[in-house]
């Protein structure tokens, strides 16, 4: 929380690409530098992303307008990620082309024809190749899902771009083991649960 009610400068140089957040280019004194001095373990640094101010999120111009007001500012900052994508459904995947980083792609119950009908879907495989996220499949039983451009299986495309992959069976095994541990207090059944899943 920053108190800008007396007109002090915010204290950062920022940039944006008309996307959902503001990128911190440099800290230049003002309220942010004072915050950094008081909070050395959670400093705002160049490369961080301002994703919300006073509850305003999802639109860089609205976030910027909120930052310029002389009032109390509750600022949400994330390091090297655009977290607002996880907050709201994305209807146009062209946003993937401008992301500076991407931690996880979650494949949840896509149709077998893939995501080709979603606007900008051709950016999925190039984003995987450029940003190398963890690809997490949650569908069970596993099924082949085609990529928009080549028709290649989406998980195979992720393997070809050297992404780390967590397949649906692994997710299911972890869920089963967590439930067994919670219900019985016994963590020794992992091998048995894995065998049952493979059958």
Does position 82 have pLDDT exceeding 60, yes or no?
A: no
Interval 4-10 mean pLDDT: 89
Report if pTM > 0.85: no
Residues 199, 165: Cα–Cα separation, whole Å:
22
In tens, the pLDDT along 162-185 reads: 888 888 888 888 888 888 888 888
pLDDT band for 88, please (50, 70, 90 cuts). Answer: low
Write down the pLDDT at residue 37: 94
CB 60 within 8 A of CB 54: no
Which option is the CATH number for 2-81: 3.40.50.11540, 3.90.180.10, 2.30.42.10, 3.40.50.300?
2.30.42.10
- Which of these, 198, 118, 110, lies nearest to 154 by C-alpha position? 110
**CATH 2.30.42.10 residue window(s) in the chain:** 2-81
Q: CA 149 → CA 96, 108, 113, 138, 155, distances in Å?
A: 15, 20, 11, 23, 14
Does position 47 have pLDDT exceeding 90, yes or no?
A: no
Residues 58, 122: Cα–Cα separation, whole Å:
23
Read off the DSSP letter of residue 168.
Answer: H
């Amino acid at each position: 929380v920053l108190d800008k009610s007396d007109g002090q400068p915010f204290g950062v140089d920022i940039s944006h690409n008309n996307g959902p957040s503001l990128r911190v280019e440099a800290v230049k004194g003002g309220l942010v530098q004072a915050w950094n001095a008081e909070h050395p373990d959670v400093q705002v640094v160049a490369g961080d992303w301002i994703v919300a101010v006073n509850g305003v999120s999802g639109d860089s111009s609205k976030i910027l307008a909120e930052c310029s007001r002389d009032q109390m500012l509750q600022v949400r900052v994330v390091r090297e990620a655009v977290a607002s994508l996880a907050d709201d459904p994305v209807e146009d995947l062209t946003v993937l082309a401008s992301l500076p980083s991407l931690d996880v792609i979650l494949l949840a119950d896509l149709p077998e024809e893939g995501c080709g009908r979603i606007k900008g879907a051709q950016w999925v495989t190039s984003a995987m190749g450029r940003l190398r996220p963890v690809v997490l499949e949650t569908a069970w039983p596993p099924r082949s899902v085609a990529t928009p451009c080549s028709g290649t299986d989406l998980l195979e495309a992720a393997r070809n771009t050297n992404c780390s992959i967590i397949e649906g069976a692994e997710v299911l095994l972890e869920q089963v083991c967590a439930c067994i541990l919670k219900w019985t207090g016994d963590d020794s059944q992992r091998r048995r649960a894995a065998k049952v899943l493979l059958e």
